[in-house]
Amino acid sequence: MLSNQEIAALIEGGYEIRSVEFKGPGSINDPEFVAKIARAALALANQRDGGSIIIGVDEVDEARSGLTAEQLIEWLDYDNVSDKLNKFADPPLRLDRAGRQLSNGKDVVVLLVAEFDDIPVLAARDFPRHIQRGQLYTRSFRKPESSASHTQNELRAVLELATQKQVTKFMSLAAAANLTTGGVPTAQSRYEDESADYLADADISDITTAAHFKFTIRPQEFRAERVDYNAIASLIRRAALHLRGWPYPFVSRPAQGASWVTEQETVMHREAWVAFESGQFQSWHALPLDGRHVYDGGADAKPGHGYFPLWQPVTDFTEVLMFAQRLQGAVAPAEPYQVTFELIGAKGWELVPGDRRWQPFYDEHRLQTSAWERTVQLPAGGGPRSGRELALTPSLHLLRRFGWAGASEEVVKAVQESVFGPA
């Protein structure tokens, strides 16, 4: 979503760009004005990454820019905006919106239009002089405008995007059905290949050969250069969380690699993270071997004995999912994301409360597997569920692998509240 500063820079530049359309102020109850917005939205939906419509910017007369208080409320009403614009769209548009301010303090609304999901969006109804039913609208390469008069390059761009989406869908279905794809690399295999290249270059074998967590966050579709290389570090720094005294991820002095930015921490916690141009993010976290850090104090800790604190998966998974939602919003809000949790090499570790405020377990509960994995899907737009809610299922799935029958949503929520405060 464009910020106030980005909008100011666009206005100062004095012209639109292909992914941004300026529209002067107007009411959502004005049918002709709505048709103009709908035409722009149809065109933006038919290009890669979609685009934004800034409602309230008059390019001819700056004094006329800005929405009234009533217009601002109208354009921030998601249900009404979606209903009125989608009457012109087949299939429906995916939209988001946010209020912003110009440098002079006047209000505008940014309408974010996602690229189409499977097939290009066509006009679903007529509106005189603005929209023709059945027409395909695109953003012109010649100048930043929404047009139904296409050059071969504009049509080729739409067809290529549609083809890529259908191929990706087919590959996902083929993989799910265990069908061969004739050697064509899937999105997952390409993500795994770039991760393998990083691991071959990085020196984190002390983490990966010990008991550790691995967290992976990635967009559904693989695009090798989705994120600007020089912007990766600042992107991760802005999305990082600071909820419990130690940030996730820890960003201090990141280093650049071939197509990634990475950082390792060796002082407080042995961990490492990497963020790729593709938008993929991964982190590795060694489990503490010193029982004093995680034991509940009910008896003497045994040297070399693996103690696994109850709070660890709950807090880690909650933070990772909250970070993933922020990363998705910054990188590809219109695309589903996949978040994968892995616990490797901790078979036989004993589950303990890990907090002196809680009573020790009556019986021993030990992890029954050496390799555990669970994936959470984030829908396009992040979805309505919070990171706390999303963390419930993977937390319970892992805690039950210790043979602990007492694992429940109430326990997980109690741990979240004790660490992060009330929801």
CATH code of residue 135: 3.30.950.30
Map residue 14 onto helix, strand or coil. coil
Pull the structure tokens for residue 42. 């149809």
Closest CA to 45 of 219, 168, 161, 164: 161
- Contact between residue 36 and residue 128 where contact means Cβ atoms under 8 Å apart: no
- Contact between residue 343 and residue 372 where contact means Cβ atoms under 8 Å apart: yes
Closest CA to 272 of 289, 257, 290, 294: 257
Q: Determine, yes or no, domain membership for 178.
A: no
What is the domain extent for residue 131? 4-161
Range in 99-103, 236-240, 288-292, 318-322 the model is least confident about: 288-292
Q: Determine, yes or no, domain membership for 94.
A: yes
Pull the structure tokens for residue 92. 């429906």
**Boundary-marking domain end, from 161, 196, 231:** 161
The pLDDT value given to residue 180: 54
Q: Determine, yes or no, domain membership for 257.
A: yes
Residues 143 and 197 both lie in one domain: no
**Residue 210 identity:** A
Pull the structure tokens for residue 230. 């020089």
Of the pLDDT bands very low, low, confident and very high (cuts 50, 70, 90), residue 298 is very low
Residues 126 and 205 both lie in one domain: no
- Contact between residue 335 and residue 382 where contact means Cβ atoms under 8 Å apart: no
Range in 9-18, 62-71, 267-276 the model is least confident about: 9-18
Separation in Å, CA 393 to CA 203, 243, 314, 423: 33, 21, 10, 17
Map residue 167 onto helix, strand or coil. helix
Q: Tally the domains of the chain.
A: 2
Greater confidence (227 vs 334) lies with 227
CA–CA dist 206, 36 (Å, integer): 59
Query: pLDDT tens across 341-375, in order?
Result: 999 999 999 888 877 666 777 788 899 888 999 99
Q: Which residues of 159-182 are buried (b: 16+ CB within 10 A; e: fewer)?
A: eebeeebeebeebeeeeeeeeeee
Of the pLDDT bands very low, low, confident and very high (cuts 50, 70, 90), residue 328 is very high
To 5 degrees, how large is the angle CA 221–CA 251–CA 260? 40
In a 13 Å sphere around the CA of 103, the CA atoms on its Cβ side amount to 9
CA–CA dist 103, 9 (Å, integer): 10
Residues 197 and 157 both lie in one domain: no
Query: pLDDT tens across 138-196, in order?
Result: 887 777 778 777 677 778 888 888 887 777 777 666 665 655 555 567 888 899 999 99
Greater confidence (307 vs 109) lies with 109
CA–CA dist 265, 253 (Å, integer): 10
